[in-house]
Amino acid sequence: MGEALATGAGSVDACTVAGRQLAADGLSLPEALDALHAAAATVLGAVPGFEETRALALGWSEATLGYLHHLSCEDPVTGLASLAHLQARVAEIYRPAPGAEPGHEQYALVVVDPEPAAQVAPLVDDLPSGADVLGRELAAARHAEALRAVFTGPETLARLGRDRIVVLTVRDDRLPQRVRLVRRLVGGGGETALSPRVWVEGLPPVAEGAALAIADLARA
């Protein structure tokens, strides 16, 4: 991180990596920020820039949240399963009993994304307001209830990232009807251009591909 700050090349990426590493080493966020300030004072004789400070804080937060997700199987607001729990469940279906059909052909993911189909665009790079955060949490809770009303069996319902909800379900003849019902429920009774997006995501043939696909859904 110090070398990157001194050269000015890749300093933001270096601070992100440093934030993750410092969190993994057990440092608190204030301690991590102190380390960044000390490095900047040593090599630059000045305080670190906003972008570097933000990158280090984001790296630290990502590492900390990842650790917390592995501790808990449920999202505290919606009661939905965590990313780690969904990954574990998906890994199980790639270990079918002898003679059984391949797991990826029997299961699929139903994805609910609250971003309206007509408004898919990059968000303004700014910190969300308290009202925005509350609105997202309330929307996630409503969508979770709608999905529970449709998928009442042993399906796994999980929250990925800030907003997306995913259902790991059996791919059967009733799945298209269930997806249509989910679209009506999360869309307030009917599909419009401003309704949340709902689609079926197939599973790749190998477990490693499924893990990457779920990670991509969580990041998007």
Whole-number mean pLDDT of the chain?
79
Compute the average pLDDT of residues 17-31.
86
Contact (CB, 8 A) for 201 and 117: no
Name the nearest CA neighbour of 174 among 197, 195, 153, 146: 153
What DSSP character marks residue 152? -
Name the nearest CA neighbour of 162 among 127, 199, 209: 127
Question: Phi and psi at residue 31, in whole multiples of 5°?
Answer: -65, -40
Task: Kindly state the helix (H) or strand (E) to which residue 69 belongs, with its residue range.
Answer: helix 50-71
Helix, strand, coil percentages for the chain (3-state, nearest 5): 55, 15, 30
On the CB side of 41, CA atoms within 13 Å amount to: 6
What per-residue confidence (pLDDT) applies to 126? 43
Instruction: Look up residue 218 and give its two tokens.
Output: 């969580």
- Can you tell me which residue has the tokens 């630290």? 60
Tens of pLDDT, residues 113-160: 987 544 443 333 443 444 456 677 778 888 888 899 999 888 999 988
Question: How does residue 167 score in pLDDT terms, banded at 50, 70 and 90?
Answer: very high
Reported residue count of the chain is 220
